[in-house]
A and B are shown apart, each in its own frame.
Chain A
Amino acid sequence: MLTSESLARIDREIAKYPADQRQSAVMAALAIAQEQQGWLSSEAIESVANYLGMEPIAAYEVASFYNMYDLKPVGKYKVSVCTNLPCMLSGGVDAGDYLKKKLGIGYNETTPDGLITLKEGECMGACGDAPVMIVNNRRMCSWMQPEQIDKLLAELK
Chain B
Amino acid sequence: MEIEIDGKVAHVPDGSTIMDAAQQLGAYIPHFCYHKKLSIAANCRMCLVQVEKAPKPLPACATPVTNGMRVFTHSELAVKAQKGVMEFLLINHPLDCPICDQGGECQLQDLAVGYGGSASRFHEDKRVVFHKDVGPLISMQEMARCIHCTRCVRFGQEIAGVMELGMASRNMHSEITTFVGRSVDSELSGNMIDLCPVGALTSKPFRYSARSWELSRRKSISPHDSIGANLTAQVKNNVVLRILPRDNEDINECWISDKERFSYEALNSPARLRKPMVRVDGALREVDWNVALDYVSHALKDVVSNSGAESLAALASPQATLEELYLLQKLTRGLGSGNIDFRPRRRDFSADSKLGGVPWLGLKLSEIKDLDAAVVVGSFLRKDHPLFAQRLRQLAKKWGKVSLLSVSGDDPLIKLHAQVTVSPAELPLALAAVVKAVAQLKGEAVPAGLEAVKPCPTSESIARSLLEGNKRAIFLGNAAEQNPHAAQLHALASELARLTGASCGFIGEAANSVGGYVAKAFPTALNAYEMFAQPRKAYILLGVEPELDCHHPQQAVAALKGAALVVSLTSFSDGAARDYADVLLPIAPFTETSGSFVNTEGRLQSFNGVVRPLGDSRPAWKVLRVLGNLLGLPGFDQDSSEQVRDEIVPAGEGFVDGLNNSINGVPLSLPAAVGFLQRVADVPIYFADPLARRAPALQKTHDAVAPTARMGGQTLQALGLTDGATVRVWQASGEAVLTVRVDEAVPAACLRIAAAHVSTAALGDMFSAINVERA
Contacts and interface: CB of A to CB of B under 8 A. Distances in A.
The answer to whether A and B touch in the complex, with CB atoms under 8 Å apart, is yes
Interface of A: 42, 45-46, 55-58, 60-61, 64-65
B153 to A, nearest CB: 9
Contacts of A46: 179
Contacts of B178: 57
Interface in B143-180: 162-170, 177-180
A135 to B, nearest CB: 24
Contacts of A61: 166-168
Interface string B172-214: 0000011110100000000000000000000000000000000
A57 B169 contact: no
Contacts of A64: 168-170
19 contacts: A42-B180, A45-B179, A46-B179, A55-B162, A55-B163, A55-B164, A55-B179, A56-B182, A57-B165, A57-B166, A57-B177, A57-B179, A57-B182, A58-B166, A60-B168, A61-B167, A64-B168, A64-B169, A65-B168
A57 B170 contact: no
A42 B179 CA distance: 8
Interface in B355-407: none
A58 B180 contact: no
Given A55-B162, A57-B164, A58-B163, A65 B169 contact: yes
A61 B168 CA distance: 4
A60 B170 contact: no
Contacts of A45: 179
Contacts of B179: 42, 45-46, 55-57, 60
> Which residue, of A46, A64, A65, has the highest number of chain B Cβ atoms within 10 A?
A64
Nearest to B178: A57
A65 B182 CA distance: 19
> Which residue, of B162, B166, B170, has the highest number of chain A Cβ atoms within 10 A?
B166
A65 B170 contact: yes
A64 B176 CA distance: 12
A65 to B, nearest CB: 5
Nearest to A63: B168
| The 5 A-B residue pairs with the shortest CB-CB distance in the complex, in nearest-first order | A57-B166, A56-B179, A57-B179, A55-B163, A64-B168
Nearest to A49: B179
B365 to A, nearest CB: 29
Contacts of B164: 55, 57
A44 to B, nearest CB: 11
Contacts of B177: 57, 60
Nearest to A55: B163
A56 B166 CA distance: 10
Given A57-B163, A60-B168, A64-B168, 5 more contacts: A57-B166, A58-B166, A61-B166, A64-B170, A65-B170
A65 B175 CA distance: 11
B775 to A, nearest CB: 33
Contacts of A65: 168-170
B661 to A, nearest CB: 38
B180 A60 contact: yes
Contacts of A55: 162-164, 166, 179
A57 to B, nearest CB: 4
A19 to B, nearest CB: 16
A8 B197 CA distance: 45
Nearest to B181: A42
A61 B176 CA distance: 10
Contacts of B163: 55, 57-58
A58 B177 CA distance: 11
Contacts of B165: 57
Contacts of A42: 179-180
Nearest to A56: B179
B185 to A, nearest CB: 12
A148 B552 CA distance: 81
Contacts of B170: 64-65
Interface string B429-469: 00000000000000000000000000000000000000000
> Which residue, of A46, A55, A57, A58, has the highest number of chain B Cβ atoms within 10 A?
A57
Contacts of B168: 57, 60-61, 64-65
